[in-house]
Amino acid sequence: MSANASLPKIAFLGIGLMGKPMALRLLGAGYPLVAWNRTRSKAEELIPQGALVAASALEAVRAAQIVITMLEAGPVVAQVIDAARTGFSADTLVIDMSSTRQSEARALHAELRQQRIGFIDAPVSGGVLGAEAGSLAIMVGGSAVDFARAEPILRSMGRPTLVGPAGCGQIAKLCNQLIVGGTLNIIAEALLLAQAGGADPTAVRSALRGGFAESRLLEVHGERMLARNFLPGGQVKSQSKDLDNVLLAAADAGLVLPLAEHVTQQYHSILAAVPHADQSAILLALEAINPSLRLGTAADRLPE
């Protein structure tokens, strides 16, 4: 699709599992977009859809009014922004859509504010399917002025909500990840209990649909567990990182979250074995402490 010259130019830094479909949504909406990724070939996959590809993060941001980062973790975001910052212009707005710590988002906001550069943290939930469909939940921390400027762009990728000042997007994402991680553990326990008790776990999941236990997680990840399909959407390593950050945020706030601590330990128990598997592979941690039980009969589908 050809770019609309009246729309702001976007530099998209990080064309990974989530970044690629998000960038495609922006290209589909007509935004002029320059892509950069450490592995250049991943960015080049966007060329047929109209993207330009930059050799460096600095080169990517030089003509951009909007800089979007979708990177692995806070230190990587800081490193990439530091490499690119001399290319920012006076009207640049940085939108970090990575999942980082609240303290990292606040620190980056303070640093960029000294350059009079706008910043919002806007982590997402919805996985690869949500990114492809443009239905991501986007949790935004920043000023009302910066949010108003970013909102039309974010709406091309999902549903943005301003939840507070800079850093609060990351807190909202951690709340999301705590609910997701905890619920996946409960779904795994419920399905394994159904099987251990002599019921058909597939039929039990079907019976629960429409009741109070109904959820998107039961629909999508319950099916993944029953099919033993652990090929990645959201990965174990990402969920583990986010849960570690939940505990750090809780400690900063003076909170004790015992369930969060347990869920984090469960993910840590399988992190080394299946770091790139889908987060629904938490089922494997439960089966490891119940070695006489295995959900279903399908062979495990795991990333190589």
How far is it, in rounded angstroms, from Cα 15 to Cα 19?
4
CB contact at 8 A, 99 and 163: no
Q: Exposure pattern of 86-104 as b/e (b: 16+ CB <10 Å)?
A: ebbeeebbbbbbbbbbbeb
Using an 8 Å Cβ cutoff, are 213 and 259 in contact?
A: no
HEC profile for 48-81? HHCCEECCCHHHHHCCCCEEEECCCCHHHHHHHH
Amino acid identity, position 69: T
| Sole residue written with tokens 């702001």 | 8
Q: Is 225 helix (H, G, I), strand (E, B) or coil?
A: helix
Q: Which of 277, 174, 290, 176 is nearest to 229 (CA)?
A: 277
Question: What's the DSSP call for residue 8?
Answer: P
CA distance 6 to 17: 29
The DSSP symbol for 240 reads H
Considering the candidates 42, 173, 237, 241, report the single residue annotated as catalytic: 173
For residue 25, the surrounding DSSP H or E stretch is helix 19-28
Known catalytic membership, residue 173: yes
Give per-residue burial for 210-232: e unless 16+ CB within 10 Å, then b.
eeeeebebbeebbebbbbbbbeb
Q: Which residues pair with 68 in a beta bridge?
A: 12, 95
Catalytic sites, residue numbers? 173
